[in-house]
Structure 1
Amino acid sequence: MKKSQARDKALASIQNLQESIRVAQLTPQVGIQYGRIRPALESCGQPIGNNDLRIAAHARAEGWILVTNNEREFCRVEGLQVENWVTA
């Protein structure tokens, strides 16, 4: 950005983007879901990575539909609604 001729405009665009993004708070229910999903997947020999596990737990706790191109990982999580907009 230091070399940008339109530095102020670029910074304003970033600021506007940041203000428009709502960050979902972690709730105790997310931790509960994490604690349920992880052992369930491990017990059947199909664990997923920690980051994907956090995402899955958050989506399941909030009742969200998870939009991803990584169906292979997330479809193993029971009760998680998954959509793939790339292949749809």
Structure 2
Amino acid sequence: MDAESQRVLEYLTEVEEGAEDVLATKQQIVDLDTKRNQNREALNALKTEMSDSGHPELRGYNLSPLSTEEIKAMNSILKR
């Protein structure tokens, strides 16, 4: 094989290796994007589930505000 053919073969080998790197990187980007979308969907599902369920720990206590007399009594107890 003459020098010119050898140089062409080396150049084509470098181009092929570069193309393989580009394709591998492109596939990695696609895989990472897929994973990002799956994570986004999971987070949205969790947010939806949380908002649908509400805050049951905050409901059902039937609390009412203290009356004026109760506040005065509490203040007198706390000042002792």
TM-score, length-scaled by structure 1? 0.30
Kindly name which structure, 1 or 2, has the bigger radius of gyration based on alpha carbons.
2
Which structure would you say has the larger RCO, counting Cα contacts within 8 Å and 6 or more residues apart? 1
Higher helix proportion, which one? 2
Higher strand proportion, which one? 1
TM-score, length-scaled by structure 2? 0.32
